[in-house]
């Protein structure tokens, strides 16, 4: 009898040991090591950002409409117009359809990760059908200082045509720059690593469409704007000094490797025609998206980069 009792006690002790080992080695379903550690240290766990689907990005543009189609007062007048360009979905970002889903849209105007105003827009009563009017709303109400920026030819679309830089608009108020991009001052030459990256991506240079492609060296290139994050990533504007109106951009990731960002028309060669508009986390995924204005012959538009500049979507229009 004593031997039997001893055997039962040992079996129970063995089962208890197995249970304790399983509880410690295999955490229960839903366990979060970070959350448990934070709770143990008395700190609340940091929730994972919830990405916004169906977020829309538009741009407040300095446009014009034709008035007095006949008679001595024929001409154009300046108007503020809204162009809906991108929408977030499960795959990332896609170009918007021809017009926004809603006839009337409320937007938050943002710049450099901060709210600067609000815009109310409506579809025109009589859409023109003109190719360049794709996705356009007319701004019928604005709050904030949205029209004080000086006009410049950088975003004009035609040589010598001056407009205010576009302002980023979002339907849902999400826009903070989570990566903390800051402007770097000072002129620097094109380094060897950067030049090798550019040359490997684009081996020819054009000044205008139809030109014979020509070779180029590092001395033919210049660096314009430069931005950097705290972890060492860089965004650099590179121009062809003979014709600097159509800049290109290169990105250096955290490992130090450079990457050439695709221009508006890859077949154009070095003159890419991308102008930086703004950066921000517009879909609340905790990472910054980057927006560019695209400038090319008979084509303008916008491009958004995300996923560490490995993915992009493009919204463009033509004039004829």
pLDDT tens, position by position, 48-81: 668 888 899 999 998 765 444 444 444 555 678 9
Distances (CA, A) of 88 to 84, 96, 218, 285, 294: 12, 9, 38, 11, 20
- Least-confidence region, from 16-25, 147-156, 169-178, 284-293: 16-25
What's the pLDDT score for residue 4? 61
C-alpha span between 43 and 229 (Å, rounded): 27
Contact 266, 248 (CB under 8 A): no
3-class secondary structure, 303: strand
C-alpha span between 65 and 227 (Å, rounded): 36
Burial group, residue 283, by CB count within 10 angstroms (0-12, 13-18, 19+)? buried
35-58 burial code (b ≥16 CB/10 A, e <16): eeeeeeeeeeeeeeeebbeebbbb
Reported as a pLDDT band with limits 50, 70 and 90, residue 116 is very high
- Least-confidence region, from 17-21, 29-33, 149-153, 273-277: 29-33
Contact 117, 109 (CB under 8 A): yes
């Amino acid at each position: 009898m004593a031997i039997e009792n001893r055997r039962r006690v040992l079996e129970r002790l063995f089962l208890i040991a197995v249970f304790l080992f399983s509880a410690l080695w295999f955490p229960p379903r839903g366990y979060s090591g970070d959350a448990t550690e934070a709770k143990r240290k008395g700190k609340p766990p940091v929730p994972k950002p919830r990405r916004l689907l169906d977020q829309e990005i538009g741009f407040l543009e300095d446009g014009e409409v034709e008035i007095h189609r006949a008679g001595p007062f024929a001409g154009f007048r300046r108007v503020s117009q809204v162009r809906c360009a991108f929408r977030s979905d499960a795959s990332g970002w896609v170009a918007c359809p021809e017009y926004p889903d809603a006839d009337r849209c409320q937007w938050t105007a943002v710049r450099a990760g901060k709210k600067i105003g609000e815009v109310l827009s409506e579809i025109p009563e009589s859409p023109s059908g003109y190719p360049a009017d794709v996705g356009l709303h007319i701004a019928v109400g604005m709050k904030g200082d949205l029209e004080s920026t000086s006009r410049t030819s950088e975003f004009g679309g035609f040589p010598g045509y001056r407009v205010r830089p576009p302002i980023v608009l979002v339907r849902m108020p999400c826009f903070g720059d989570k990566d903390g991009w800051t402007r770097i001052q000072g002129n620097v030459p094109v380094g060897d690593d950067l030049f090798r990256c550019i040359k490997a991506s684009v081996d020819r240079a054009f000044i205008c469409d139809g030109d014979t492609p020509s070779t180029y060296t590092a001395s033919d290139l210049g660096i314009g704007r430069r931005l950097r994050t705290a972890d060492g990533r860089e965004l650099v504007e590179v121009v062809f000094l003979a014709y600097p109106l159509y800049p290109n951009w290169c990105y250096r990731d955290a490992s130090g490797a450079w990457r050439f960002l695709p221009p508006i028309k890859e077949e154009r060669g070095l003159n890419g025609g991308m102008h930086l508009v703004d950066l921000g986390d517009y879909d609340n995924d905790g990472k910054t998206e980057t927006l560019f204005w695209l400038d090319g012959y008979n084509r303008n538009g916008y491009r958004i980069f995300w996923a560490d500049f490995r993915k992009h979507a493009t919204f463009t229009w033509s004039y004829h």
